């Protein structure tokens, strides 16, 4: 969330951010209401100053045994006026707040401006495999090898759900353990295992609400949401807290299932595992000091890249343009892995810096030193990695002409086999 004073002092910058992100927040209405708000506050202050004078006058008149009836009536009129102004102020402030929480974060100056066609390829790693045969798409080879049961999952839960089985389930579990072990033992993250449901204010803190509520799975009886990503519960670990400067940066990693209705993308990529309603993901979350947050973003990106490098899967990095940035992000890199069977790039990670946008919504602050005034931290997160498309890339890039799948070397200690037949 952007600070109201910042919005007031930088209207052109905020207006450009709204336009560049393709948003529709009513900035002009907010600015007009802000003027009204300050006028009401001025009127309240004047009325209270007059009330104080009248109160003193009544006391002096009573002390002098004078008739204070008229002055007491004036006092009552001032009290009614202040009460009416306070009610009006509450209404104006609530309307300001409802617009304020819908204003997106300001994109960093390094972010390209434009729609998704303006996303910039930063670099590419690895060689695209050139096989001497036509590789199968993942849904065909997974079905042939009995790794994923699409039909029974659909009968059980509906379209766009999958059920892993046998070595498919073991591959999923192996990837989760491998990623968590890497982030903890080499990259310095602390593993956490958060709840898979959160309250409304947690979803608001990370920016999913109110904008994306239709994409969330909601439990009405408890007013809880199934998490769309571990970003939500892990970022909210320090909600309403003041951290000490020497604690920062704080690095967390977590495995969770993720649940998304994908309400805005119905009908897209419905076959296989490219876009499903429930999927596993390993997440990385950082709480850092503002001055180092963009250096921390590059480190976060490198941590996610190393997963793919160790798996020996070719990938590319995109710096997202303003029109492709999320509501809350100031800058984001997408990592796309190559899927040979589908012959396309698939997103497996988004690494984002939110600056202090989420911290303001969740009230997460820190003291630079003992006794210092609390400041808002910067929050970052990135997938390290999302599982379904990573599994797709392994199935499609590591398949053999005989229809087997070679297990990546780093996964063999977790899998217990070298080839899936």
Determine how many CB atoms are found less than 10 A away from the CB of residue 305.
20
Residue 350 is among the residues annotated as catalytic for this protein? yes
Please give the torsion angle defined by the CA atoms of residues 370, 371, 375 and 381, in that order, rounded to the nearest 10 degrees.
20
E strand residue ranges, 36-143: 120-125
Q: Nearest-5° angle of CA 192, CA 196, CA 198?
A: 105
Which is the catalytic residue, given 160, 349, 350, 383? 350
Please provide the DSSP assignment of 253-286 as one string: EEEEEEE---GGGTTSS-STTSS-SEEEEEEEEE
Please provide the DSSP assignment of 100-112 as one string: HTTSPPPPPTTSP
Contact criterion met (CB below 8 Å) for 236 and 381: no
Which is the catalytic residue, given 74, 95, 213, 347? 347
Q: Nearest-5° angle of CA 211, CA 200, CA 159?
A: 65
Which is the catalytic residue, given 260, 261, 361, 365? 260
Residue 260 is among the residues annotated as catalytic for this protein? yes
How many whole angstroms separate alpha carbon 94 and alpha carbon 369? 35
Residue 173 is among the residues annotated as catalytic for this protein? no
Residue 412 is among the residues annotated as catalytic for this protein? no
Please name the helix (run of DSSP H) or strand (run of DSSP E) that holds residue 314, with its range, or none.
Answer: none
Which is the catalytic residue, given 170, 275, 361, 365? 275
Contact criterion met (CB below 8 Å) for 332 and 104: no
Please name the helix (run of DSSP H) or strand (run of DSSP E) that holds residue 97, with its range, or none.
Answer: helix 69-100
How many whole angstroms separate alpha carbon 215 and alpha carbon 227? 11
Residue 15 is among the residues annotated as catalytic for this protein? no
Residue from 120, 106, 117, 121 nearest 20 by CA = 106
Q: What is the DSSP letter of 400?
A: -
Contact criterion met (CB below 8 Å) for 328 and 104: yes
Determine how many CB atoms are found less than 10 A away from the CB of residue 398.
22
How many whole angstroms separate alpha carbon 317 and alpha carbon 332? 10
Which is the catalytic residue, given 170, 261, 365, 389? 389
Active site residues: 260, 275, 347, 350, 389
């Amino acid at each position: 969330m952007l600070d109201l004073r910042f919005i007031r002092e930088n209207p052109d910058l905020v207006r450009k951010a709204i336009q560049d992100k393709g948003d529709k927040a009513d900035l002009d209405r907010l600015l007009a209401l802000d003027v009204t708000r300050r006028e009401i506050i001025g009127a309240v202050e004047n009325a209270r100053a007059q009330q104080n004078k009248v109160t003193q006058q009544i006391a002096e008149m009573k002390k002098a045994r004078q008739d204070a009836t008229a002055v007491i009536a004036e006092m009552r009129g001032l009290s009614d006026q202040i009460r009416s102004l306070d009610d009006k102020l509450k209404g104006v402030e609530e309307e300001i707040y409802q617009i304020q929480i819908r204003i997106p974060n300001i994109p960093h100056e390094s972010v390209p401006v434009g729609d998704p066609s303006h996303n910039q390829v930063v670099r590419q790693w690895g060689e695209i495999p050139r096989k001497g045969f036509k590789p199968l798409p993942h849904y065909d080879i997974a079905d042939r090898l009995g790794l994923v049961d699409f039909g029974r999952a659909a009968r059980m839960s509906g379209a766009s759900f999958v059920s892993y089985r046998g070595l498919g389930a073991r591959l999923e579990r192996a990837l989760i353990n491998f990623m968590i072990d890497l982030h903890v033992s080499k990259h310095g993250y602390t593993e956490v295992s958060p709840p898979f449901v959160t309250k409304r204010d947690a979803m608001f803190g990370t920016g999913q609400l109110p904008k994306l509520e239709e994409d969330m799975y909601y439990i009405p009886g408890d007013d809880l949401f199934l998490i769309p990503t571990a970003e939500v519960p892990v970022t909210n670990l320090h909600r309403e807290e003041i951290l000490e400067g020497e604690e920062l940066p704080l690095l967390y990693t977590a495995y969770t299932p993720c649940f998304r209705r994908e309400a805005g993308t119905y009908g897209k990529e419905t076959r296989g595992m490219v876009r499903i309603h429930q999927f596993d993901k390993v997440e990385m979350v950082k709480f850092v000091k503002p001055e180092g947050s963009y250096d921390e973003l590059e480190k976060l990106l490198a941590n996610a890249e190393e997963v793919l490098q160790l798996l020996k899967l070719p990938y590319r990095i995109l710096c997202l343009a303003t029109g492709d940035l999320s509501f809350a992000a100031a800058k984001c890199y997408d990592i796309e892995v190559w899927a040979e069977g589908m012959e396309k790039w698939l997103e497996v990670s988004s690494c984002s810096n939110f600056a202090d946008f989420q911290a303001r919504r969740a009230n997460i602050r820190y003291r630079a030193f003992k006794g210092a005034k609390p400041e808002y931290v910067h929050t970052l997160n990135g997938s390290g990695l999302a599982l379904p498309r990573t599994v797709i890339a392994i199935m499609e890039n590591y398949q053999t002409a005989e229809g087997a799948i070679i297990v990546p070397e780093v996964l063999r200690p977790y899998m217990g086999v070298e080839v899936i037949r």
